[in-house]
Amino acid sequence: ETGVTQSPTHLIKTRGQQVTLRCSSQSGHNTVSWYQQALGQGPQFIFQYYREEENGRGNFPPRFSGLQFPNYSSELNVNALELDDSALYLCASILAGTSAYEQYFGPGTRLTVT
């Protein structure tokens, strides 16, 4: 139990639609990262937020965007969905002020684009 929750668990969308995925971290976790895990692959870094500002982005197009809120929750938004966006989306949070450097992962949201 990592204390990181994600919603919804599963989601089915149609190509071209927009989707919002949500992540809720524990108090004090002021850094959150989002990863995309395609079937049979390892997770790939999408972007990271620190104190509500994006401070790192992987090789993903601008139609992938995010928000982080003061209550330690965050969102991943994907516009103009494509079939290849079908994947498990994971969020991970890091507890501020710790030297443990542990990213706590949520259970993920399984997105299917048809």
Partner 1 sequence: AQSVTQPDIHITVSEGASLELRCNYSYGATPYLFWYVQSPGQGLQLLLKYFSGDTLVQGIKGFEAEFKRSQSSFNLRKPSVHWSDAAEYFCAVAAGGNTPLVFGKGTRLSVIA
Of residues 56 through 95, those in contact with partner 1 by CB under 8 A are 56, 58, 90, 92, 94
Member of 7, 17, 26, 41 binding partner 1 (CB under 8 A): 41
What is the tally of helices (H) and strands (E) in the chain? 0, 11
- Counting contacts by CB under 8 A, is residue 99 touching partner 1? yes
By CB under 8 A, the count of residues binding partner 1 is 25
CA distances for 95 relative to 30, 71, 77, angstroms: 7, 14, 23
List Cα–Cα distances, 30 to 17, 60, 66, 83, 90, in angstroms. Answer: 30, 22, 14, 32, 16
Binding site for partner 1 (CB under 8 A): 2, 4, 31, 33, 35, 40-45, 48, 56, 58, 90, 92, 94, 99, 101-103, 105-108
